[in-house]
Structure 1
Amino acid sequence: MTFPLPQRPELPIALLAASFNNTSATYKYYWLLSILSELEGGKTVIPKHRIFAGMVSLAWYTVNYFHISFGKQDQLQRAISQIRELEGITIDEKQEVVKQKIINSLNPATAKMLRYFDSEVPHRYLSPWFPELKGNRAEIYRLSAGFENDCPYALDEQNLTINPLWHGYLLEHAGILKAFCYWHLSLYLQKHNPNVPDIPNKLIKPARRNNLLNQRKFWNRVLDHTGPLECIYTHKKLVHGSFAVEHFIPYAFVSHDLIWNLIPADPSFNSRKNDKLPRMEDYFDEYYLLQKTAIEVMTVNHPNEPMMEDYLSLFPNADAQQLPETDLRGKFLENIQPLLTIANNNGFEYMGRFL
């Protein structure tokens, strides 16, 4: 599948489309995304330092919250982890706040990390316009200053200047160009994270998370029929309306709110668990029994409950009304165990036993 860009006869759009060919790191994707963000903010002469800070801020949530791997050689991921410690920035900080803190930082270690990208990215992105130069930094800088070969920007040691010939196109089609970047970025990251679900939805921090009202109603209905159930973590009794809806496998990994991964839990525990992983030997059996109870109760008492359809992603050949007759434990086990292992391999930590 290709992602066509809008054409303009006077511009070498094919070279822009080729800018992500033979990409071995994420730099170029975030470089163009950061430039487009500055351009939308009204800037045509942009300090490179701002663009590098924008690259870090754009990738911040993907690296820190979702633990997506950029590949062993990718220095952007490494820089983000180090800058988070150096600057004391939280993993879920707003993108613009992250960017401004980095721009205003006086820490020489942070500045040094950003300078690395200066030696690698601005001129290499222009390789399609200067293929014969094979990444010769000095020569590409010299030729870009006169917008040779209709390259999209000029470079000097401090700034990037947008080519007036490209300005209108980049601004008019900024949304499409961002989608172009994210499309190629998602393909690149999927190769490096082949077992991680829902990569495209882990590239941008969502404006807000779902409120889980329907999932809460689901578990309230279960509790109406069963009476109090026990929190699998703290063993406190949970009753109708007095529980937290908790992701057994963290949302930061699965990136969905399907009911098979949601259970009622002690609210005080839910705030402590954060994005830690539950250990199979400690919690799987209790988690499974909660889910088994819910399936049996809802099948008998609320056979038309829409949320029962969520289970069909675990039981693709079953009907929602036939779930109790399937090998429930085996299916839950063969889905949950690999997800926990993959999440741990991607940097999510296991939690201790709560008594």
Structure 2
Amino acid sequence: MQPEDVISTILKHDAKQTSYKFALVRAINDVALFFPYLRNPNKDIAIPLKLLAQYWVAYYWPFVNPNEPILQGTNTPDMRFRPQLTELRRIWEQINGGVSRPSDGFFLIDELRISRKRQTYGEELHRAFDESLTKIAQAVEQQPIKHAGPSSEPWTVFEKPKIYRKFDGSVVKIPGTQETDKCLIIEAPLWRTFQKRSLWIEALCIHEWALFGERVKQENQQKVHRCHIYRLLTDRPNKRIDLTWEKDCINNLLIEGKEFICPWTEKRITSGIEYHLDHLLPLSLYPINELWNLVPADPYFNSCIKRDRLPKLDTLQKAKPYLERAYSYYNSSEELSVALKDDVKSRFLTVSGKAKPYLERAYSYYNSSEELSVALKGDVCPSALANAVINFIDIVGESRNIARF
């Protein structure tokens, strides 16, 4: 069976008692899109179950609203992790002072993924989040991974997940994977299909999920209309996470005499000049608040022209010197350099840290052997990072057919 047929069969024809298989395919698809170094690999890919579980927190968030829970299957319980995720949502809403949006799960996983932001939350939220991930990871392995495919036999599409260290370098790992992480292996041809068909796969996942959800009787014996489920699954963030710490650090650089340049208008930004911290990848696409995704920009252009669009490749290439300048300044800041290194390490494999020989594309990001040696020492090379970010944004724009300027 061809990879495209494997995906469509799971989504459209597999027997389903819960929405787990939709969530599994959607999570693999998102991982394939948002980790840009793993393009066209010659080896299979290892995805930690805990990473898939993080995406599930976001996907299932709108269905554990304590005031309006929506069942996700015909079994009892419909979701093995419903109690844990419901408690996590309760704690999050208590912290934020009210009912959350359906898309707030995406904000939560982004906040707790970044170590410096995670530290700002209390132990109660940490514990609830970790308990949810543990329970979800168990469900991911025991049900959709095991039973994916039309056969009644288990493990016909995916191998049984194993601890990463047992693979002995035979697979490519997602950035941030630990030796003790249990991982799902995606064969290289299937991985390339996820990358090539990303937009189509996401659309089919959401469409089939909405149709399935409409058929599930709720506790009151009523059914939820597919349009409502579709709105919940496609809700997009419309608020900005607090970036006070980042702006304070950048303001200190401006006071020291550093001069940023807006990558889109070439407006010079010095101390006392108003600016926005632009999300290169817009929040409405995916809330990535990692430091490499934040650069000072012309406030009018950012809010009135760029908005939710992505720059075209030629625009990105013209912006490269200004992105490189910003990353160089971040490196010069004691606080920001640590944050930048952590954020880059969790997203890109070879902009800092030991470069991997099987990631041939990564070497093209370095302009000289000196730049590569910087990365091999574990430091962030601004030029290589700018190249990697440009490549990432262009991949996302092409894969998801985002409006561009």
**Structure with bigger RCO (C-alpha 8 Å, 6+ apart):** 2
TM-score calculated relative to the size of structure 2: 0.39
TM-score calculated relative to the size of structure 1: 0.44
Larger radius of gyration: 1
- Of Structure 1 and Structure 2, the greater helix share is in 1
